[in-house]
Structure 1
Amino acid sequence: MSELYSAGDEERPVAQTNPEEYRDEARRDYARLIHSASFRRLQGKTQVFPGYESDFFRNRLTHSLEVAQIAKSIAIRLNATSAHFTKTPINLDIVEFAGLAHDLGHPPFGHNGEEALDECMRDSGGFEGNAQTLRILSTLEKKQLEGDEASTHDATGADLRRGLNLTYRSLSAVLKYDRVIPIGSKERPEDNVASPMKGYYKSDEELVRRIKSHVVGRADASDFKTIECSIMDIADDIAYSTYDLEDIFKSGIHGPLDLFSFPEQIYEAVVETINKRIRKQYKSEATSVSVADVRDVLYEVFSDIFAIGSDEDAFIRNRKIEPGRRKMYSSMATKKLSSLYAGNGYHRTRFTSKLVQLFLDGVEVVPHDQFPQLHQAKLKIKTFVFVEVLKNITFEAVIRSPMLQVVEYRGKDVIKKIFEVISSSNGYQLMPPDFREIYRQGDSLGRTRTICDFIAGMTDRYAIEFYSRLFGANGMTMHKPL
């Protein structure tokens, strides 16, 4: 196949004529996403810090907008600089669509919410955010039904919902993991038994075969991941490593200087995660990182706070001043510069802009020898290490910190309790009428999945309110002392 796009890759699951010749199919898909309810609900889902703590902090919606912008910038750069895309440039609308859509499947309360639903669904096909994204776009969103539009299921019980009825090429752009999530804990690989397994649901197996068939012409294609999806994946990591860090600085919980003085086990955990990912994603690279390398990366990123002016240099070199005073003076200057990142919006903006540009310059293309659609965007190894250090420092030191874990743990408990109540005898009647109707038409697995769909679609606030109606719970905050 010589061209980037095959002849049929824009076909939709439900045939539909485009009355607007001036607007291509990818742009129609983009518009459908923007106007969807699941996209709007991202504004009520937590990114790092709960939205009720401050209007400044990013939520899943603003994070997705940033990912989409970064992804589009990567695609523009590759179209302009890479010979692989000279004749058939990357479709910017599909790349931007992937960035906007990539987090649609995230449930309330972040990673703990995902774990809670996966534990509830472990013997019914599991739950995973990326798999749920594909399900939302292809099935749950209320745009298109197959055949009789008066019912979501036919007389045989077959599901007629077709979600936003997107082109197969757009659906392929959110398919990050090319493996099916099995039904039942015992069927999972050992390394995935305790946490959500990455992949797509068993119920979407035939859909994925159709996606592959339309995009590359082979339903059995392996290691399937399109160029648009790989760009979105990189953009997501860049946004995590950069803007989540900005939120942390703004919160006042940590400043740049604090990143150098965490307990040693945090750096060891960061090193372990990065080396594991290097072995998986850079098999040809004989590279590994150490704790010292992590600190070197942090120094390169934050070298400005250690800058020494001429007056300070003269003071430090003055041997008439006792060493303790010289150290105090230097520490005060460093702390002052570090505090600017937290307290000064101009410094933070310059910092994040510089980082994003640095990471964009580190993107390269790994060509696929058979299908141009499966060319991969990839970070150069040095850039990858920089991104991973910042991303995992944030995860280990903040997201896993007690103040956030207490909030997320309670969120996990909220989701499990809601799931338990709705799963009980006649509990499905607590769901809205449309979910009740779908529940009644499903088999055992379908009914359990419908309960999961209902809870996964909740915003954080709605989940708390729903829980409160059931159990009379109070609100929660992350700032109260433990």
Structure 2
Amino acid sequence: MEETGKAVRYSVKWEQLLSPQRSRESSRKYVRSTDLRSEFEKDYHRIIGSASFRRLQDKTQVFPLDKSDFIRTRLTHSLEVSSLAKSLGQNIGENILAYKKDPEFTPQMKEDICNILQCAGLIHDIGNPPFGHFGETAIREWFRRNLSKLTFHGKLIEDVLTEQMKEDFYHFEGNAQALRLVTKLHFLVDENGMNLTYALLNTIVKYPVPSVGIREDSEDIKEKKMGYYYADEDMFREIQQATGTNGCRHPLTFILEAADDIAYKTADIEDAFIKGFISYYFLLQELEKLENDNKNEKVSFNPAQKLAQLYERGLEKKVRNPEEYAVKNWIVRAQGFLISCATFGFTSNYKEIMEGTYKHDLFYGTFAEELMELLGRMAYQQVFTSRPIYRMEVAEAVMIDYLMDCFVSAIIKYDDPGEELDSIDERMVSFISSNYKNAYHYHAKGKTDVEKLYLRLLLVTDYICGMTDSYAKRLYQELKAIL
């Protein structure tokens, strides 16, 4: 690292971080073209044209299989994250330019950052299974219960798989599945999946550690969960090498995570209000407690005061429902405040983020940190631990458990010369998408029997994660002969 006036020249440069490299480079790369889009703009069109992105419209955000047009799905959430991430990218890029934080940072880099973040917001949840985050929990717990019981060639599967293979299933993670899906499972053209740019792929890797590298009690945010499977480690290494992050988080990952946090923590409150889990008066009361705890701090946004002002404005305007008017408009104001805080969090910690030594999220140490914690706590206590949600999650767990039982039982014997599928197993395997099976066969070439078994177990989670909520429910009912 070297000084250049007041600016600092970092060892990791934006030019490398914003790598447009892909697994398969275009054969027309050096041919004159009328296509004036940047590589990152091309990524955007690949994403929105994909079946996996479209399926997000029928995947749970908070309320499974909800019939309301208002309540958010994974698709609407992803669109909101995409928008917030792009806004953050604009703010942060402009700050870097205006205050000359990096002499090599250019307006074109700012534009590239915005395009990458817009795309990353669209795909950050693309690997999540049906039924929201509880779907991830159900899959993890199924493996913890069953890998010690299932057998392969007369041995317990738990004893056959390597430690990392087992931990991949015990810590099954939608983030790792997202990387796998976009790099391998879109087996339409070839084995390269969507063939997205490495800068974008690295941005969605929130946790650049394997399952055996998880440190849940670590003070470093990047070690909290798994970021990639053993099966995708070579791809992860290639992405890291191309972008120069060397085991650290990509700087844009912090921005994507902040956008995701802003989107879901504010949206959960709005959805909870619409569904009747949280009232205007309860929200005001909780925000007033936060205000009392921080009465000596000078902040530009007073959450409780702003909510009360919006309620009064609703009364003045004689709106039909002033409580709803206040809550919905407060959400917009809160998002604006949180965007400002995240911008400050990135720019004030720029040196550490670029060096890969920053260990926290972008709200750490700001007033926004306590507001975000309060919003998360309210959603957890008033919604996620409520009886209606628990009832739905128990039903969802029954469906996922049954589907896992059926497909894993069949897939253990699939593509194994020493085993023969019975008639039911054959039919179960036939349900799995040919794209996923083609990807399995391609990546299983030359592998050992144990590696093939591991890839077949991933084939089941690949298929189930690709299901929408409605399809998972319908398939469960059909297999159980529930008419």
Which bin holds the TM-score, normalised by the shorter protein?
0.7 to 0.9
Matching of residues 4-23 of structure 1 within 5 Å = 4-6=14-16, 9-16=19-26, 17-18=28-29, 19-20=33-34, 22-23=36-37
* Equivalent residue number for residue 386 of structure 2: 401
Aligned twin of 1:69: 83
For 1:41, the equivalent position in structure 2 comes to: 55
AA partner of residue 334 (structure 2) = L
Structure 1 segment 105-144 matched on structure 2, within 5 A = 105-121=127-143, 123=166, 125-126=168-169, 127-144=172-189
In 2, distance between residues paired with 1:11 and 1:34? 20
Partner residue, 2:460: 451
What is the aligned partner in structure 1 of residue 239 from structure 2?
211
Question: After alignment, is 387-396 or 71-80 more displaced?
Answer: 387-396
Q: Helix, strand or coil: the match of 1:104? A: coil
Quick one: which of 329, 335, 339 aligns to 1:356? 335
Say if 1:70 and 1:464 are closer, same or farther in 2 by CA, change over 3 A: same
CA distance in 1, matches of 2:193, 2:295: 47
C-alpha RMSD of the superposition: 3.6
Runs of 5+ unmatched residues, structure 1: 146-160, 268-288, 311-332, 475-482
The Cα offsets for residues 147-190 of structure 1, whole Å up to 9 and x where unpaired, read as xxxxxxxxxxxxxx2111111111111010011014xxxx9768
Instruction: Tell me, in whole angstroms, the C-alpha distance in 2 between the residues paired with 1:165 and 1:309.
Output: 49
**CA drift at 1:371:** 4.7
* In the alignment, structure 1 residue 461 sits paired with structure 2 residue 440: no
CA contact (8 A) 1:68 1:95 kept: yes
Q: Partners in 2 of 1:116 and 1:308 — Cα distance?
A: 41
- Give, as a single letter, the amino acid of the residue that structure 2 aligns with 1:464: K
CA drift of 1:64 comes to 0.5
Aligned equivalents of 1:211, 1:439: Cα separation in 2: 21
- Check the 8 A contact 1:46/1:108 in 2, yes or no: yes
SS of 1:125's equivalent in the other structure is helix
Kept after mapping to 2: 8 A contact 1:124/1:449: no
Which amino acid is the alignment partner of residue 429 of structure 1?
V
Letter in 2 for 1:414: M
Q: Superposed, which structure 2 residues align to 1:180-191 within 5 Å?
A: 180-182=210-212
With structure 1 as the length reference, what TM-score do the two structures score? 0.73
Select which of 149, 156, 176 maps to 2:206. Answer: 176
Shift of 1:237: 0.5
Please list, as runs of the form range in 1=range in 2, the aligned pairs for 1:38-437 lying within 5 A after superposition.
38-82=52-96, 83=99, 84=101, 87-88=105-106, 89-90=109-110, 91-121=113-143, 123=166, 125-126=168-169, 127-145=172-190, 161-182=191-212, 197-216=225-244, 221-222=246-247, 224-259=248-283, 293=293, 300-303=302-305, 340-342=322-324, 344=325, 347-363=326-342, 364=344, 365=347, 366-368=349-351, 371=354, 378-379=362-363, 381-425=366-410, 426=421, 427=425, 428-432=428-432, 434=434, 435-436=436-437
The answer to whether the 8 A contact 2:139-2:400 is kept is yes
C-alpha distance in structure 2 between counterparts of 1:394 and 1:173, whole Å: 27
Give the Cα–Cα distance (whole angstroms) in 2 for the partners of residues 430 and 468 of structure 1: 18
Q: Distance in 2 between matches of 1:416 and 1:468?
A: 13
Answer yes or no: is the 8 Å Cα contact 2:291–2:302 preserved in 1: no
Deviations 1:317-347 (A, max 9, x none): xxxxxxxxxxxxxxxx9xx9996333x4xx3
Alpha carbons of structure 1 residues 162 and 358: separation in structure 2 relative to 1, 3 Å: same
Q: Deviations over 1:280-339 (max 9, x none)?
A: xxxxxxxxx999749999x942335657999xxxxxxxxxxxxxxxxxxxxxx9xx9996
In structure 2, runs of 5+ residues without a counterpart are 1-10, 145-165, 219-223, 411-420, 445-451
Q: Deviation string for 1:425-476 (max 9, x for gaps)?
A: 44342523514555667411111110110001100000000000011348xx
Quote the offset at 1:191 in angstroms. 6.4
Find the aligned partners of 1:226 and 1:188 in 2 and give their Cα distance: 18
1:26-52 deviations in whole A, cap 9, x for unaligned? 111111111111111000001112343
One-letter identity of the residue aligned with 1:173: T
| Count of equivalent residues | 395
Counterpart amino acid of residue 68 in structure 1: S
Query: Residue 15 of structure 1: SS of its match in structure 2?
Result: coil
Moved over 6 A (4+): 289-292, 294-297, 307-310, 336-339, 372-377
